[in-house]
Amino acid sequence: MKLTIKDRVANLLRVKSIIALLLTLTFCALTLYSGSITESFTNILLIVIGFYFGQSSKNINVRE
């Protein structure tokens, strides 16, 4: 089943997607402006991104 642009935008507006995007943007902003990131923030970011992509790939496999 092919997703339309409307479906893809709707998927981006889910809570887990918004949290993942905000954390990634925060990480990028901190890196650009301060140059140093704490290890705890990096660990949290990696866990959230890993969970997000893990759930996304799990959902795709279930649909097929």
DSSP string over 5-59: HHHHHHHHTSHHHHHHHHHHHHHHHHHHHTS---HHHHHHHHHHHHHHHHHHHHH
Closest CA to 23 of 40, 36, 50, 41: 41
- pTM for the whole structure: 0.58
Most confident residue range from 14-18, 35-39, 43-47, 48-52:
43-47
- The pLDDT assigned to 57 comes to 63
